[in-house]
Structure 1
Amino acid sequence: MKMPDECIDTIMFAPCGMNCKVCYKHCYHKKPCMGCLNSDEGKPKHCRKCKIKDCMKVKGYSYCFECTDYPCKMIKNLEKSYNERYQASLMENSEFVRNNGLEVFMENQKEKYTCPKCGGIISIHDRECSECQEKMESIKSEIMKY
C-alpha cells in the first residue's frame, strides 16, 4: 500500500495516540483495518476488544488526552509497551496533537513513515515497507515541529 499523496485522513488517529495508517494490519492486508474510530471490519481481535476504545466511547471522548484521568493506567501500560517494543511514544503523539492539531501531526507522520525508496508505508511495528519490503534501520526520530 502506497502512502497517499494527500494528507493522511485524521480518522486514522486512534484514541490512544496511535496512527492507524502505519499499523502493520493496515499496511499489509487485502482488507486493511480502516482505523480505530471506524468499523471493526478488518481489525485484529485485540483491536476489536480494545478497552481503551471502549472507555472513550463510554466517557464520550474521541481521544484519551481529552479525559481528566489522562494518562490512566491503561495508557501508561500501552505507552510502556510501545516505548520498549517499537521505540515510539503514543503519549508524545497525543501531546503533539493537543498542542499543534491533528492535521499537522498527520502531515508529519506522512513524511516520517513514507519509504524513501518506493513511497510505500513503513510499518511502526516492524519498520518494513509495505511495498518493497525493505527494512528501515531507523525511522526519522524527530517529529518536525512547526
Structure 2
Amino acid sequence: MKMPTEKIDTAMFAPCGMNCLLCYKHCYHKKPCAGCLNSDMGKPEHCRKCKIKDCIKGKGLAYCFECPDYPCKLIKNLEKSYNKRYQASLMENSEFVRQHGLERFMEQQKGKYTCPKCGGIISIHDRECSECQESMK
C-alpha cells in the first residue's frame, strides 16, 4: 500500500492519538482496516475490543484529549506501551493535533513514514515498508 499522494483520510486518526494508516494491519492486508471508529472489518482483535474506543463513543467525543479526565489510566497505559515498544508517543500526536489540526498532523506523518525508496508506508509497529519490505530501523 502506497502512501496517498492526495490528502490523507483524517478518519485514520484514532481518538487515542494513533495514526491507523501506520498500523501493521493496514499496511499488509488486501482488505485493510478502515480506521478506529469505522467498521470492525479487518481490525485486529485488540482494536475491536478496545476500551478506549468504547469510552470515547460513550462520552460522545471525537478525541481523548477533549475529555476532562485526559490523560486517564487507559491512555497512560497505552502511551507507556507505545513509548517502550515503538518509541512513539500517542500523547505527543494528540497534542500536535490539538495545536495544529488534523490535516497538518497527517502531512507531518506522511513525511515521517513514507519509504524513501518506493513511497510505501513505513509501519509504526515493525518499521518495515509495506511495499519493498525495507527495514527502517
**1:43 matched to 2:43:** yes
Instruction: Using the TM superposition, give the Cα deviation of residue 8 of structure 1 relative to its aligned residue in structure 2, in angstroms.
Output: 1.3
The one-letter code of the counterpart of 1:50 is: C
**1:120 matched to 2:120:** yes
CA contact (8 A) 1:7 1:110 kept: no
The one-letter code of the counterpart of 1:19 is: N
The one-letter code of the counterpart of 1:11 is: A
Instruction: Using the TM superposition, give the Cα deviation of residue 87 of structure 1 relative to its aligned residue in structure 2, in angstroms.
Output: 0.1
Give 1:1-146 correspondences, 5 Å limit. Answer: 1-137=1-137
| Number of positions where the alignment pairs a residue of Structure 1 with one of Structure 2 | 137
Q: Deviations over 1:36-63 (max 9, x none)?
A: 0111110011100100000000001011
After the TM superposition, list the runs of 4 or more consecutive aligned residues in structure 1 that deviate by more than 2 angstroms: none
1:144 corresponds in structure 2 to none
Structure 2 gaps, min length 5: none
SS in structure 2 at match of 1:33: coil
With normalisation by structure 1, the TM-score equals 0.93
CA contact (8 A) 1:3 1:121 kept: yes
Q: Deviations over 1:69-113 (max 9, x none)?
A: 000000000000000000000000000000000000000001110
The CA RMSD measured in Å over matched residues stands at 0.5
Q: In 2, distance between residues paired with 1:86 and 1:28?
A: 18
With normalisation by structure 2, the TM-score equals 0.99
Structure 1 gaps, min length 5: 138-146
1:141 corresponds in structure 2 to none
CA contact (8 A) 1:82 1:89 kept: yes
Q: In 2, distance between residues paired with 1:109 and 1:134?
A: 18
The one-letter code of the counterpart of 1:101 is: G
Q: In 2, distance between residues paired with 1:77 and 1:8?
A: 28
CA contact (8 A) 1:113 1:122 kept: yes
